[in-house]
Chain A
Amino acid sequence: MIAFNKYYNQFNILSISLVVISLFLLIFKGLNFGIDFKGGTLIELRSTDNKINVSSLRDNLNSMNLGDVSVKNFGNETDFLIKFEINNNKNIIEQIKANLDKSFGNTFDFRRVENVGPKVSAELLKSGVIAIAVALTLMLIYIWIRFEWQFSLGAILALFHDVLVTLGLFSLLGLEINLSIIAAVLTIVGYSMNDTVVIFDRVRENLRKYSDIKIYDLTNISINETLSRTLITSITTLLALLSIFFFGGEILKGFSLAMIFGVIFGTYSSIYIANTVLVRLRVSQKTVLRDDKSN
């Protein structure tokens, strides 16, 4: 049996620091919003001429007064991703196409064009925030119905931890937040909850079974009993996600990366956050038995 409980304090301190750092990052550095939430234009280009590079492309586009233009390689040397801010010119794509054809010859294939206006991006951001808020609320209600309040608090703190630290990491690394990241965050919420609930289920079962074991050791027993399941599920989920990350193409990279972070944090938090909340709230056999009677 692994003595997870020996490190409860250390890991709590670590988690609190991670959350605080993440909050700092989110407030002061902010998130790198993509065009879905900020508005603007995105163009994915493929060139048949491998002499064209990011800087020559950037120079060319800078001459068009597009405002803040970002140009980078996308997956490989001949694919490029161009992004620029909201532009009121309706024919901007045609003009860029004409300009590129003039400067480089007819070497570019416009593989993808996305254009999001300010109104739509504001709406998408709003609905993304609402979606996450609704998800967290529903999880809270669900766990509150299924478990005693001490458990609910533990699970919700674990959830907030996972979401905040994942977003904090995205802020730190400057990774783009787009619609698929919202989907990833929601899936992380589901996954983290899932993981926590399985351990909590065991804690509650053990609380009814053993009256003489203190919660400090009881959580440790429960974690160990469910440990191989926790690990196996995390591993298979990570295997699937790594496969998406490495082979699923550039478009899914951000999504799978967010999910990978989320699964790792989710697994960690169900052990070291959810359970320590139970310990700190001195949950005992009485907590669950009282509940049984009232039901």
Chain B
Amino acid sequence: MLYFSKFRIILVISISLFFILIASSNLFKFENDLLNKKINLGLDLQGGSYLLLEIDNNPVIEQKIQNLSITIRNYFKDRNIRIKNLKILEQKLSFSVNENYKQIVLDTFNDEESELNPYYPRFKSHQLDITEEDNIFFVNYSTQGIVKLKTSSQDQALEIVRRRIDEIGTNEPNILKRGNDRILVELPGLDDPMRIKSLLGKTANLTFRFVTNNDQDSFGAEKLSYEDESEEAALVSKRIILSGDNLLDAQPRMDSETNETVVTFTLDRVGAKRFGKATSTGIGKQLAIVLDGKIISAPVIRDTIASGSGQISGGFTFQSATDLALLLRSGALPAPLNIIEERTVGPDLGQDSINAGMIALAIGFLLVIVFIFVKYKIFGLITNITLIVNLFLLIGILTIFEATLTLPGIAGIILTVGMAVDANVLIFERIKEELKDEKNNLIAFDSGYTKSRTAIFDANITTLLAAIILFFMGSGPIKGFSLTLGIGIFTTLFSVYFIARLLTVLYVYRNKEKEGLI
């Protein structure tokens, strides 16, 4: 255990120097790409927002079921089968057919190549499940159908969330899928988390619909209240003249005539045509601008608008007009998003945490170093040098992988400092014991290293196991803790078996004859 070849010595020294260099790149700027890496600071240290959003897919499913009812009716109508008693029951459809057609309906749904009920060739499971009870058919989404629906609405929502966040221009946002109905958003260094929350919380489903005064409207009508509650709720037709999909652009503006903040919009070709037609036939009528089920305003149409652009007024402040324009530009979410977890840290608290963490690290380090030096003298010095290199190795590895350092992560580093001496202590204590019977320093040191090996191995494996479990089970900050703790075990073993042993060997060879060496 005591022999080191020249090559090994050079290797150990160069590895150590390399990591010291890498670790120090956090403090200095290097031109070289390899060296110009930095540890990322977690949101708890640099300040920022962590938001976990959950997509509420129920409205999507209900909408799809509604569309499906029309598809089914038309499909069978083309085949001269009349669908009777078609009902929509939340996330299910029910209908009945003539006794003679029952088998045909069932076969249509269960056919592997079915047009009406796809997916089978690809997923070995249909999109829809059909059951029959007392002559009534029930159709609902199969497990596979729900999964597809969820992933597709998640994809769309992710895209919209990304656009909205990009519009605000936060630096390096992290937007990730979680499961099949969640989206994780990490926004470092955010000034105003409330604004982003309110922007993400809005579906931004915009429609232009006529206000009507009879509920016998052929498309149906619904009573909607005003956003600012300035007027009584109004009856609005369900017929959609225009939707947010037809918008090409939206911008906040100051109306020079009324001195009011408005949102101007430009429509695409289809939208412009429809808008022109509606405004020409509907002169004198009120056109309600509805956002997420609330009326923003309902101006009376005075003229035909054929230009394909217009403006929305509604008592906006400049901020609210800017936000509405942003929402309209980035598009509507396929389904409402709920913020189910939020963690926001202000930048000054983050800085305070960094300072506290660094002070704790410095003091903890100093206490350990002084204690070990007093206890082991020259070998204490060796341990302490090892400890310092160990710290550089740990920080160097975190830097190479550009890992994220969190406050618990700093705690993990401090804890590593405290526990890292364990291996050296085990070795030195063992050597002391060996020296009681063995007068030859070299033999005693050699067997001290050999005999302590299993205990050191066992001891570190247990901590490593705990760190690995934490890494896979923990979230955010806790992951940071397990990361530093886990990497710390490897750097500790390296520094103990290569650096500390090298230094010990060099010292022992020079003092072979000396008694009471340790």
A positions within 8 Å CB-CB of B: 44, 90-91, 93-94, 97, 109-117, 119-120, 124, 127-128, 130-131, 134-135, 138-139, 142, 146, 179-180, 182-183, 186-187, 189-191, 193-195, 197-198, 201-202, 225-226, 228-229, 232-233, 235-244, 246-249, 251-252, 255-256, 259
Check A135–B454 contact: CB distance below 8 A: no
Task: Point out the residues of chain B lying under 8 angstroms from A235, CB to CB.
Answer: 371
CB distance from A202 to the nearest CB of B (A): 8
A236 with B418, Cβ < 8 A, contacts A182-B478, A228-B429, A249-B357 known: yes
Complexed CA–CA distance, A240 and B474 (Å):
23
Partner of A255, one of B201, B411, B418: B411
A-B residue pairs, 10 tightest by C-beta: A240-B418, A243-B364, A190-B466, A249-B356, A131-B473, A248-B360, A117-B340, A193-B462, A237-B418, A190-B463
Given contacts A240-B417, A241-B364, A243-B360, 16 further A-B contacts (CB under 8 A): A97-B194, A111-B345, A120-B340, A130-B473, A131-B473, A135-B466, A179-B475, A180-B478, A186-B469, A190-B462, A191-B463, A194-B459, A194-B463, A197-B459, A225-B433, A248-B411
Check A233–B415 contact: CB distance below 8 A: no
Check B411–A232 contact: CB distance below 8 A: no
Tell me the nearest residue of chain A to B347, going by C-beta: A111
Check B462–A139 contact: CB distance below 8 A: yes
Q: Quick one: CB contact mask for B344-358 with A, threshold 8 Å, 1 for yes?
A: 111011001100110
Q: List 21 A-B contacts (CB under 8 A).
A: A44-B349, A90-B201, A112-B344, A115-B342, A135-B469, A179-B475, A179-B477, A182-B474, A186-B469, A190-B462, A193-B462, A194-B458, A197-B462, A228-B425, A236-B422, A237-B418, A240-B415, A247-B359, A248-B356, A248-B357, A248-B410
Check A244–B454 contact: CB distance below 8 A: no
Q: Quick one: CB contact mask for B459-503 with A, threshold 8 Å, 1 for yes?
A: 111111111011001110110011001000000000000000000
Q: Does B341 sit at the interface, judged by CB under 8 A?
A: yes
Q: Does B506 sit at the interface, judged by CB under 8 A?
A: no
Partner of B478, one of A179, A195, A225, A241: A179
Complexed CA–CA distance, A237 and B52 (Å):
36
Check A243–B363 contact: CB distance below 8 A: yes
Q: Does B269 sit at the interface, judged by CB under 8 A?
A: no
Complexed CA–CA distance, A285 and B286 (Å):
97
Check A187–B360 contact: CB distance below 8 A: no
Q: Does B193 sit at the interface, judged by CB under 8 A?
A: yes
Q: Does B421 sit at the interface, judged by CB under 8 A?
A: yes
CB distance from B203 to the nearest CB of A (A): 13
CB distance from A162 to the nearest CB of B (A): 13
Q: Does B236 sit at the interface, judged by CB under 8 A?
A: no
A239 with B458, Cβ < 8 A, contacts A114-B343, A182-B478, A252-B408 known: no
CB distance from B52 to the nearest CB of A (A): 7
Q: Quick one: CB contact mask for B410-426 with A, threshold 8 Å, 1 for yes?
A: 11001101110110011
Complexed CA–CA distance, A225 and B372 (Å):
19
Partner of A233, one of B52, B194, B198, B421: B421
Complexed CA–CA distance, A95 and B361 (Å):
39
Partner of A244, one of B364, B371, B459, B474: B364
A146 with B356, Cβ < 8 A, contacts A113-B193, A131-B473, A235-B371 known: no
Tell me the nearest residue of chain A to B354, going by C-beta: A249
Task: Point out the residues of chain B lying under 8 angstroms from A194, CB to CB.
Answer: 422, 458-460, 462-463
Q: Does B306 sit at the interface, judged by CB under 8 A?
A: no
Q: Does B339 sit at the interface, judged by CB under 8 A?
A: yes
Check B346–A252 contact: CB distance below 8 A: no
Question: Could you tell me the dominant secondary structure of chain A's interface residues?
Answer: helix
Complexed CA–CA distance, A87 and B380 (Å):
56
Complexed CA–CA distance, A242 and B368 (Å):
11
Task: Point out the residues of chain A lying under 8 angstroms from B425, CB to CB.
Answer: 228-229, 232-233
Check A183–B481 contact: CB distance below 8 A: yes
B positions within 8 Å CB-CB of A: 44, 52, 54, 193-194, 198, 201, 338-346, 348-349, 352-353, 356-357, 359-361, 363-364, 367-368, 371-372, 375, 407-408, 410-411, 414-415, 417-419, 421-422, 425-426, 429, 433, 454-455, 458-467, 469-470, 473-475, 477-478, 481-482, 485
Partner of A239, one of B339, B367, B465, B482: B367
A112 with B341, Cβ < 8 A, contacts A131-B470, A233-B419, A236-B371 known: no
CB distance from A248 to the nearest CB of B (A): 4
Task: Point out the residues of chain B lying under 8 angstroms from A248, CB to CB.
Answer: 356-357, 359-360, 410-411, 414
A119 with B54, Cβ < 8 A, contacts A138-B469, A226-B429, A244-B414 known: yes
Check B339–A115 contact: CB distance below 8 A: yes
Task: Point out the residues of chain A lying under 8 angstroms from B410, CB to CB.
Answer: 248
Complexed CA–CA distance, A70 and B339 (Å):
23
Complexed CA–CA distance, A115 and B50 (Å):
10
Check A113–B344 contact: CB distance below 8 A: yes
Complexed CA–CA distance, A179 and B418 (Å):
22
Check A241–B469 contact: CB distance below 8 A: no
Complexed CA–CA distance, A127 and B348 (Å):
31
Check A239–B368 contact: CB distance below 8 A: yes
Tell me the nearest residue of chain B to A117, going by C-beta: B340
Task: Point out the residues of chain A lying under 8 angstroms from B344, CB to CB.
Answer: 110, 112-114
Check B419–A237 contact: CB distance below 8 A: yes
Complexed CA–CA distance, A91 and B193 (Å):
12
Complexed CA–CA distance, A120 and B54 (Å):
10
Task: Point out the residues of chain B lying under 8 angstroms from A179, CB to CB.
Answer: 474-475, 477-478
Complexed CA–CA distance, A93 and B464 (Å):
40
Task: Point out the residues of chain B lying under 8 angstroms from A229, CB to CB.
Answer: 422, 425-426, 429
Tell me the nearest residue of chain B to A197, going by C-beta: B458
Complexed CA–CA distance, A232 and B493 (Å):
18
Complexed CA–CA distance, A146 and B459 (Å):
12
Check A112–B349 contact: CB distance below 8 A: yes
Tell me the nearest residue of chain B to A227, going by C-beta: B429
Task: Point out the residues of chain A lying under 8 angstroms from B343, CB to CB.
Answer: 112-115
Check B455–A187 contact: CB distance below 8 A: no
CB distance from B172 to the nearest CB of A (A): 21
Check A183–B474 contact: CB distance below 8 A: yes
Complexed CA–CA distance, A237 and B340 (Å):
38
Partner of B465, one of A142, A228, A255: A142
Task: Point out the residues of chain B lying under 8 angstroms from A94, CB to CB.
Answer: 194
Check B345–A243 contact: CB distance below 8 A: no
Complexed CA–CA distance, A119 and B52 (Å):
11
Task: Point out the residues of chain A lying under 8 angstroms from B469, CB to CB.
Answer: 131, 134-135, 138, 186
Tell me the nearest residue of chain A to B427, going by C-beta: A229
Tell me the nearest residue of chain B to A194, going by C-beta: B459
Check B364–A111 contact: CB distance below 8 A: no
Complexed CA–CA distance, A44 and B246 (Å):
44
Partner of A247, one of B356, B473, B482: B356
A138 with B465, Cβ < 8 A, contacts A179-B474, A235-B371, A240-B415 known: yes
A239 with B364, Cβ < 8 A, contacts A115-B342, A182-B478, A228-B429 known: yes
CB distance from A21 to the nearest CB of B (A): 26
Task: Point out the residues of chain B lying under 8 angstroms from A228, CB to CB.
Answer: 425, 429
Partner of B415, one of A90, A109, A246, A259: A259
Check B408–A183 contact: CB distance below 8 A: yes
